[in-house]
Every structure is written in C-alpha cells, then in structure tokens.
Structure 1
Amino acid sequence: MKKLVLFACCLVLFALPLSAQETASGDEKSTQKAGGVKSLAERIQRLEEAIGRDTESDKWYDRIQISGLIEVEAGYRKFEEKNDPAADTKESDVDLATVELVADAKIAKHVDGHVMFKYEEDEVFVDEGFIALVGTKSFPAYLIAGRQYLPFGYYDSHFVTDPNTLVLGETNQGAAVAGYRIGGERVDLSVGAFKGEIDKAGDDDAIDSFVAAITAHPLDFLMAGVSYTSNLASSDSLSAVIEENGTTELTDRVGGWSAFLTIEYLDRFKLIGEYVGALDDFEAGELYSPATLDKKRSPTAFNVELGAMIIEDLGLALRYGGSDDGAGVLPEKQYGAVLNWGIGSCNLAFEYLHDEFEDTGLDVEQEADTLTAQLAVAF
C-alpha cells in the first residue's frame, strides 16, 4: 500500500503542471523512435496500419508487408553485496540483443495474418502468430486469435531496459481476444481467454484464465486504462520463476490488476505512470526461491517516467520505479535516466539505472549500477 500511495503522489505532482495546459497539436500523435520498450498500444497501432493499408494488386507478394527491428547493446554492470563486499562483481559485454522480423499478410478485406519471428538470448522463436479480424466503422469490433501479448498492462517506456511493471505482468500466450471501440479510438473494451502456463492444482488442462481491459483516450493529450487478469502467475516472468521451483501448479489462481496514465504536451513532454499488482497472496514457497517457504507473497510494481524532447530527435527521460515482494527478482527501488538520439530510422540510446534489492526473509541487501548503450534500427 505504501508503494501505491507513493506512485499516486508522483503522478499527481507530475500531472498537474502538464494537464493545466492545452496541447497545441491535438491531431498529431508523437511516435516512438526505434529502440526502447514497445508498449501494447504501439503493437496494436502497427497491426492496424498493416490491416488498413492499400494493396496494389491481388498478387500474394503485394499483400505481404515485411518490417523488423535490430538492437545492438553494450553494457557495464557493477553489483554490490552489502552484507558481503567480497561477493561484489563487475561485468560488461557488447552483443546483438534483439532481432525481430514481422510479416503481415492482408488475406482479405478486414482479415490479416501476422507472424513475428524473434532472436533473443541466442534463441530464435515465434513471438507472435495470429489471425486478426477487424470490423467496419459502423461496427468497430475485432477478434485476435493465436499467440499474442495479452491486453494486461500498458508498459510504455522511454528506456532501453524494461520497466518493473512489464517484468511482473507481461503475458505472451495463445489466446482469443475480442474487443469493441466506442467513439473511434476514444474508448477500447477488450476481453480474452487463454490457458495459462501455471494453473490451480487439480484443475483440468483447459482454457480457464481470463483477461479484460478498458482503455480511454478522452482528450488528445490524455490516455488512461485499467486491466485485469485472473492468472497473474502465467505472466512470462512469474511462470518461469515458478517452473524453476519444479512445479506448474499452485494452491489457487491469483488474479492481478493494472492501471496506467499517460499525458503528452506539445509533442515535447510525456508522462508515463503505471501500477501492476496481485489481488491476493501466493502461498508460502510458491514464488521465488525455497528459502522463502515461510512467507506469503503479493508482488506489486510501479513505474513513473517523465520524458522531454530537448531538441528535434534528441530526448531525455527520467525514471523512478520499484516493487514490493520482489524477493531479489524485482528491485525495491529503481531510478535512472536515458538519452535518446533519433538518427533517421535509427535510435542511439545511453541509459543509466540504479537498482536496490532488499528482502528481509532472505537477508539480502544488494545494489546494482548499470550503464547501457543501444543502437537500434527499425525497417
């Protein structure tokens, strides 16, 4: 609760001077350069552009659109163990971090096939693969069926490193998601069903997890939304941690909720705020390491960022975030800055982050300082 109150206060302090102004270019939306974290809204926008494009003919090669992203990163990290200085470590590396190759095929009017191949951590895999059915202006409904990022959370960021909210809540699953839009793009309602990676002990192997989201864009400079999942443990990060403990079943499913707010002013300033949290406790020993067997867990995370364009194509952003019940996986506190320089279709980013980890159950007190340089190109 303490973190939630702090998160709300940060939003109010940042939002008051921005919301008191009127945007000078309401019909223009700022676009995120290559690099950084892609929000769920950005993924949806790219899909809409692919579906809505005109094709020159009915030939198959005119109906396919190819796009992609390449990210190369160099990093330095200093890790300090407060209770054991001899365990301090330093590491550095430069490598190909991510490659994405996306193919969108316009099958027919209002029908699109979408596949994204991804290279990450020395593995190549299908990150997304689905069929999208989109309605008309008079009936603005849609259906997305296949492997996709579920509409839980927003996860927008100016930074190279994922925000804590994304680490906790992002969920990529096979699912069916249906939605409906009201007032053009002013309000988006969506619901979905999926079979989670982690389930309740004794339950059938069936589709029994659900997600729902409401996103509102009441003013050109303001966007807000809330979302719900009935199975937070099936998020990408939590499911991996639970499986490392040797199980895919829990005493009961634990739901989660998320809320976000973004405010843009003059296409120059942008505030991002988000909170993600569990709605109940995970039983002792179900999350994280066996050393925490005597403690229930209710993980939460928040992220607040304020970005500003210094000059055209050169932006600076600040972040403050953190978590509760991170158990050494999510930092209790995180703050830093990033400088983004857009060079045509490329983005050069320089990022600094400071993380503080603390868990009384594990008697852990650690700090990490990370410097990252990323060169990214989108095509």
Structure 2
Amino acid sequence: MKARTIKAVLLGMATVVWLCLTGMLSAAGAEESTEPQAGGVTSIEDRIEHLEQAIGRTVEGDRWYDRLQISGLIEVEAGYGKIDFEDPAEADEKTSDVDLATVELDVDVKIVDHVDGHVLFKYEEDDVFMDEGFITLTGTEAFPAYLIAGRQYIPFGNFDSHFVTDPTTLVLGETNEGAVVAGYRFGGEMVHIAAGVFNGGAQETGDDDVIDSFVASVAVNPLEGLTFGASYNSNLAGSDSFNEAVVDPDNLDSLVGGWSAYVSYAFLERFKIIAEYVGALDSFRAGEIYDPGETKERDLSAWNIELGAMIIDRLELAVRYGGSDDGGNDFLSETQYGIVVNWGFFENTNLALEYLHDEYEDDFQEVETLTAQLAIEF
C-alpha cells in the first residue's frame, strides 16, 4: 500500500477517535475515568508494577499460606487471517480458529521483610512451562535498591500496548533469560535505573557458553501520566523471537547490541499515547539472519505508535501504526496499522476486538487479521 494511502487510513482512524471522544465527553461530564483495559500484551512497566504490589503487601499471620499471593490470567481467542502473496504462483491462504490462547498462574511469596519469591507458570501454544522464576531482595525506604536473580524479562524496552497482538518492537526486542538485575530509584518514583548480566541466546564463533551479555535501562517519570526511558542490550540476537530468525545463533561474526527509547503519556484522563523504537546498533553480516544465502547486510529496527482513548467508562478505542526496516519477508512487517476496541464489561473481564493489516518487505506478502479475545484476570 502506498504511503499516501496509509496516511489517509491513519488520519481517518484518528479522526474517528477524536469525533467519538468529542461527542461522548460532554455526555460523560464529570464521570470518573477508568484505566484503559489493555489487550494481551504485558509491558515491562506492567510487570514492575505487579512486582512492586506483591512486595509491598502486608502479611497477616505466620502460616505459610498467609505469605502466598496467587493471581492469574485466562485468554480465549477467535481469529481470522488472510495472506495475499505477491507471487501469483503461490496460492493465497485463509485461516480461522477459536482456542484457549494463554493461561498464566502467578505465585508470589513473601519470605521475610526484604526477601520475596516469584514464579509464573504459563500455558501457550499447547505447551506448559515456567515463564518466570526469581528471588527479589529489596532495600529500605531510605535506600530503595533491589536485586532480582533468576529467570526474568530483562529491562530492555517497554513494549506497552493497547492491542492483543504484540507490537513489532516487542517481537524484535523482548528477552526472557536467567539473569541478575540490580536497580535503584531516585526521588521516589521519578527516576528508575537498572542494570544486569545474563548468558544470551546468541554468541560469537568460538566463544564459550558463558555470561557475556548485559543490559541497562533508565526510566523517568517527571509528571503524572508521563513516562519516558531508554535501554541497551548488548546481545539483540538473543531476544526470544528474533533468535529464531538467526541462521546460526552460536556462530555470529560479532554480537550486535540494540537500543530502545519510548514515551508513554496519559492525559485529560481519557487519552494515552505510546511511542517506542527498538533498533540494532550495528549491522548483521550477510547470511547471518533469515537466509544463509543472502548477500546484503541487515540493519534491523522496529517502531510502534499508538493512540488510545476512553470513549465512555470501561470502553476504549485505540489505533496503531508500526513497522520495521530490514525485517525480512516474513519476520517483521514493514508496515503495520490497525484498530482495537477494549470493553471491560465486568470487573477484571475484558473483550477485545482487533483488526490489523501488515505489509512485508519487497511486497512479499500482505496479511490481514481479525481477532476477538475474551480475557479474565484473578
């Protein structure tokens, strides 16, 4: 699709959001706003918030079960997809399905003051596995430091989203590894820094299988509703999804680092803007990713921009525009845009309806997807 057409579609979707808001705000009047109900994406910010709530809770009683906090998530999805290939010799494809998409069981346990444990079991794609498992050591109010040791999502990127489907930034950068991460907060919640080490899922030719990767991040919250940050990962090829697109992860010419920058701004009690960029700091050599027969180097990057608005209490409308450079013909879409409606019709219950359109490098394929997701949290 041409850039002019894309801009027209985005402008049209943004206009719909604005017109709906203009018409509904006056009707809503002084009605209190509700936090937007997100789709299926869990951002780093959400994970930190959950961890802080678990650590900060009060234990009532000395029995072992008084120290436990159990929560979870169930997501059921129905979807329809259509793939149009540019090559006329390749038949187009249509798919549809309804299934249990995700189940999460989250167990947090307070051992003593300043010592907590966390385990997250997950069902996804017909597999049951431990997604997270770590021990947290925390400081005092006077010294707000912490240390997290174990399997965790390293503090690279933020990946916030209103949508059910992961943004391109998450697909490129999200990394779950065994790691040790230390952090500190300045000025209350104003500045948050973190750094850690881990054994990445990719390495240079001839290197031993050792801890040789590190991550660092900073997040700033100067005003209520406004957060921005940046992060660095020394081993981008070790990220969860991207690692599968690397031809031989154990024999890279050199480790390529990645960087991320994001901003999230909630304003007027009903709007939220999300923008994020993730990119490689150097080129991957020809043939290292996607196809060993490639003859050109790859400079990967991905971005995602979203605008969400609470139309009325518990009803959110959001639009997305994202994409990538050098994302290949089936890994990261070159252009992605769409719209989602989130309706929290009961407490801790959300229905999401999502439409996405993806276009890939060299016009290899265009993909349209419709997804309905029913999710509950407990």
Deviation at 1:202, TM superposition (A): 1.5
Q: Which amino acid aligns with 2:288?
A: E
**8 Å Cα contact 2:33-2:313 kept in structure 1:** no
1:243-282 to 2 correspondence within 5 Å? 245-282=247-284
| Mapping for residues 112-261 of structure 1, pairs under 5 Å | 112-242=116-246, 245-261=247-263
Residue in 2 aligned with 1:349? Answer: 352
Residues 17-44 of structure 1: per-residue CA shift (max 9 Å, x gap): 9xxxxxxxxxx99645364211101001
Preserved contact between residue 306 and residue 321 of structure 2 (Cα < 8 Å): yes
- Could you tell me which of 32, 36, 44 is aligned with 2:40? 36
* Structure 1 residue matching 2:241: 3-state secondary structure: helix
Percent identity over paired residues = 62
More deviation in 167-176 or 75-84? 75-84
Q: Number of residue pairs matched?
A: 349
Partner of 1:375: 374
Question: What is the CA–CA distance in structure 2 between the aligned matches of 1:34 and 1:366, rounded to whole Å?
Answer: 29
CA distance in structure 1 between the partners assigned to 2:212 and 2:68 by the alignment: 35
- The 5 A counterparts of 1:7-46 are 31-33=35-37, 35-46=39-50
C-alpha separation between the residues in 2 aligned to 1:353 and 1:92? 15
- Pair 34,64 (structure 1): closer, same or farther in 2 beyond 3 Å: farther
Q: Is the 8 A contact 1:230 1:254 kept in 2?
A: yes
Helix, strand or coil: the match of 1:263? strand
How far apart, CA to CA, are the structure 2 residues paired with 1:73 and 1:331? Answer: 22
CA RMSD of aligned residues (A): 1.9
Instruction: Identify if the C-alpha distance between structure 1 residues 257 and 30 changes in structure 2 by more than 3 Å, giving closer, same or farther.
Output: farther
Q: Which runs of 5+ in 1 are unaligned?
A: 4-9, 18-27
Moved more, 162-171 or 200-209: 200-209
Q: Which residue of 1 aligns with 2:307?
A: 306
SS at match of 1:198: coil
Q: Distance in 2 between matches of 1:32 and 1:116?
A: 24
Q: What is the rounded CA distance, in whole Å, between the counterparts of 2:89 and 2:210 in structure 1?
A: 49
**Once the 2 structures are TM-superposed, how far is the Cα of residue 278 of structure 1 from its aligned partner?**
0.1
Residues 216 and 29 from structure 1, CA distance in 2 versus in 1: closer, same or farther, beyond 3 angstroms?
A: farther
Q: CA 1:247 to 1:215, structure 2 compared with 1: closer, same or farther past 3 Å?
A: closer
Query: Which stretch shifts more, 185-194 or 364-373?
Result: 364-373
- Note the alpha carbon deviations across 1:74-111, whole angstroms, 9 max, x for none: 00001001222651111100000000000000011011
Amino acid at match of 1:50: A
Structure 2: how far apart are the matches of 1:32 and 1:174?
32
Partner in structure 2 of residue 25 of structure 1: none
Q: 2-side partners of 1:272 and 1:296: how far apart?
A: 30
Counterpart residue number, 2:21:
none
**Structure 2: gaps (5+ residues):** 4-9, 19-31
Q: Which residue of 2 aligns with 1:358?
A: 361
Question: For the residues of structure 1 that align with 2:34 and 2:235, how far apart are their CA atoms?
Answer: 33
Greater alpha carbon shift after TM alignment, 164-173 vs 198-207: 198-207
